[in-house]
Structure 1
Amino acid sequence: MGKKRKLNIGHRRPENSNQHGQPNENDGIESSTRNAEETQSNPGHGEEVMHGSLESNSIPSDIETEEIQAEKESKRVRGPTRMLDVWDMQVGDFIIVNLDKYGRTVGEEATTLTRFIGSVVRRPHFAPINYISWKKMPKENIDDMLEAIESKFEFVPPINDTIREMLKAELNEKWRQWKSDIKSLAYNPSKTEEEIASKLPDDRVEPSQYRDLVHHWFSESGQKTSEINRRNRAKFEDVHCMGTKSLPRLIDEKKKLGKGVSPKRKEIYIQTRTRKDGTIVNEKAARVIEELRNMMRLKHLNQLKTHKGIHLGMKTYSLKCKDLIKGGVSAAWARFQNVKKQRHPHLKMKSYVIE
């Protein structure tokens, strides 16, 4: 069994719900929480959304999946996630998604939203896969997808044009990822176009749309685009190991743990590029992290110098020998020894700490 989660659910009351036909100040949105169960998902996607779940995928790498019981084996196998728990919510129910000050979705409901968007673009009547690019997608289809999202989710603060543009960008990304997933499952350069087009890689794929997509793969323009994308991907080095958690959600969680203090960008970079075993994702990230840590050490050293200081006086020379014996402190120590010998042999060294 998966983990139990609490889901923030709201309900839109019908306009005529008041018995006397008079408006009630309590009408509108009612918030409640519901417990739900999840099953374990693909490790590349984190926990999977089941009925009423909050958990979803923010940064997937391939088709989102859920575990189902195999008929002949006790080992679980993976199947597609369709987000039916959200699609089949009762009329008037919706999931409440909070936004940060930049309008980005945060909280566990945000990942449910992201997975739901993935399920929307995988429905062929919403986002056909035979369009070459998202720019060719009809406006009517995009509007229908937005309407489906807004019918299942309520945003706090309320949705506006800026948030809708962000949702469109997420739809675009998920749609492109869906097409990439299909190609990774079906494309084989050793097979002919007809051999590939005759067998659907997923039952959510519409046959006629799939044939057009396969034809594009084998076309000259499709081959050229694929090669350009492959070269660009090979140059990409800024990878992370956040898993399924989005960056806004990670920042929001750290801010709550820090009692309202936002984490530093350096801290976020180091955390998102360092694996659980302490290793760094790649050489480039390792170099950047080393530079960031050096900067943090230098800043700490400067703070120590500011708070503890090095003072040369007639009677007492104060030096934080343990904290600042490295770097610039060595020169101050040499000056102290020189002054002590030549002018003030009675001077003594005293280490002190200012909290």
Structure 2
Amino acid sequence: MLSMMQKRRFSHGSIQPIDILSNNGVKYYVEFNEFHQPIRKGGLILVRFLGYIAKIAHYCPIGAITWHDVEKNLKVQIVNKMREHFIILDDEVYDTLAQQRVGKCWRHYKHGLKKTFFQPDKKTHEQHYDLVPSGHSRSDWIKLVNHWFSPKGQKLSQIGKEARSLQFQVHTMGSNSYANLRADYEAEHGKKMGLVESWERSHMRKDGSFVEGTTTRLFSIDDAKAKMESLKLANSSYSSVDVEMRHFMIL
């Protein structure tokens, strides 16, 4: 029997979720950091796959109002499908986090459907019933439309709009994750990435500038660096990461 190392092979180029579902039994190896977050290429493939699953009606029906309302057996199927295509440690924590990730993607997907199809100023409640998105049942779609038109749905929508209007910390990483940003830094420098540098790298444009208002509303990155240097001198026994953690906890 071939060993695990002999069975391994490297994949090059972009791997799409649809390719994973038809890969003839090939499994993708996923690395995780100390917080059980998927990292590197295998992690990116897994995250994309879970986002794809969130859009499939069989696993994640859009008629459920909240993720809690999605049947437990469907969530088990999601985990089984993930483990069918990925090599992941046999620990329940990975299953739980995968379900949470799918739930988050599912909510974002439904928000996208609303932006595309919901037109209360142009169409009646009943006319929305005929706008069933491809891949979804009419019955599930009607449940979702009814929720959007309900007083509770409209109240939650307003709360969401107000919350989004307060978000001004715009990152510039695209599809890359904070976990990968830290992992790449540690591999290159042989030490953990500090909070200030993590924030700077994740919010800075390629030309070295920030999105307007990003730094001034929270803090000046130069002032933060100066404060860190001062604290390091005063606490020489602490590592740079420890100093930053203590400072940010005080903030």
Q: TM-score, normalised by structure 2?
A: 0.84
Give the 5 Å matches for 1:21-60. 24=1, 26=3, 30-36=7-13, 38=14, 49-50=15-16
TM-aligned CA distance change 1:30 to 1:195, over 3 Å: same
The alpha-carbon deviation at position 135 of structure 1 amounts to 1.0
Q: Which residue matches 1:195?
A: 127
Give the 5 Å matches for 1:97-116. 97-116=30-49
d(CA) in 2 for partners of 1:199 and 1:116?
Answer: 27
| Structure 1 portions without partners, runs of 5+ | 1-23, 39-48, 51-82, 305-355
Higher strand share: 1
3-state secondary structure, aligned to 2:27 = strand
3-state secondary structure, aligned to 2:87 = strand
TM-aligned CA distance change 1:187 to 1:32, over 3 Å: same
| Partner of residue 208 from structure 1, selected from 113, 122, 139 | 139
Instruction: Assess if the C-alpha contact under 8 Å between 1:280 and 1:286 holds in 2.
Output: no
Q: Which residue matches 1:222?
A: 153
Does residue 232 (structure 1) correspond to residue 232 (structure 2)? The answer is no
Q: Which residue matches 2:242?
A: none
The alpha-carbon deviation at position 205 of structure 1 amounts to 2.6
Percent identity for Structure 1 against Structure 2: 21
d(CA) in 1 for partners of 2:134 and 2:193?
Answer: 44
| Partner of residue 296 from structure 1, selected from 225, 234, 237 | 225
The alpha-carbon deviation at position 286 of structure 1 amounts to 3.4
d(CA) in 1 for partners of 2:144 and 2:124?
Answer: 14
TM-aligned CA distance change 1:289 to 1:139, over 3 Å: same
Give the 5 Å matches for 1:228-267. 228-258=159-189, 260-267=190-197
Q: Which residue matches 1:280?
A: 210
d(CA) in 2 for partners of 1:29 and 1:135?
Answer: 42
Corresponding letter in the other structure for 1:211: I
| Structure 2 portions without partners, runs of 5+ | 234-251
TM-aligned CA distance change 1:295 to 1:115, over 3 Å: closer
Aligned length: 233
Per-residue displacement from partner, 1:25-49 (whole Å, max 9, x unpaired)? 837982111334x4xxxxxxxxxx4
d(CA) in 2 for partners of 1:173 and 1:225?
Answer: 16
Instruction: Assess if the C-alpha contact under 8 Å between 2:63 and 2:140 holds in 1.
Output: yes
TM-aligned CA distance change 1:300 to 1:234, over 3 Å: closer
Larger radius of gyration: 1
d(CA) in 1 for partners of 2:174 and 2:4?
Answer: 40
| Partner of residue 52 from structure 2, selected from 116, 119, 136 | 119
d(CA) in 2 for partners of 1:31 and 1:186?
Answer: 44
Per-residue displacement from partner, 1:65-98 (whole Å, max 9, x unpaired)? xxxxxxxxxxxxxxxxxx220110112x210001
Higher helix share: 2
Provide the alpha-carbon RMSD of the alignment. 2.4
Q: Which residue matches 2:102?
A: 171
Q: Which residue matches 1:154?
A: 87
Corresponding letter in the other structure for 1:85: D
Corresponding letter in the other structure for 1:249: N
Corresponding letter in the other structure for 2:120: P
| Partner of residue 63 from structure 2, selected from 116, 130, 135 | 130
Instruction: Assess if the C-alpha contact under 8 Å between 2:196 and 2:224 holds in 1.
Output: no
TM-aligned CA distance change 1:104 to 1:298, over 3 Å: closer
Corresponding letter in the other structure for 1:195: Q
d(CA) in 1 for partners of 2:138 and 2:79?
Answer: 25
d(CA) in 1 for partners of 2:95 and 2:191?
Answer: 29
Instruction: Assess if the C-alpha contact under 8 Å between 1:273 and 1:285 holds in 2.
Output: no
The alpha-carbon deviation at position 278 of structure 1 amounts to 2.7
Q: TM-score, normalised by structure 1?
A: 0.61
Per-residue displacement from partner, 1:243-298 (whole Å, max 9, x unpaired)? 1101001100111111x2111111011111212233222424335452x4224235
d(CA) in 1 for partners of 2:125 and 2:228?
Answer: 60
The alpha-carbon deviation at position 206 of structure 1 amounts to 2.5
d(CA) in 2 for partners of 1:302 and 1:237?
Answer: 28
Structure with more relative contact order (C-alpha pairs < 8 Å, separation 6 or more): 2
Per-residue displacement from partner, 1:118-175 (whole Å, max 9, x unpaired)? 11121111111101101111110100111111111112xx131122221111011011
d(CA) in 2 for partners of 1:302 and 1:236?
Answer: 29
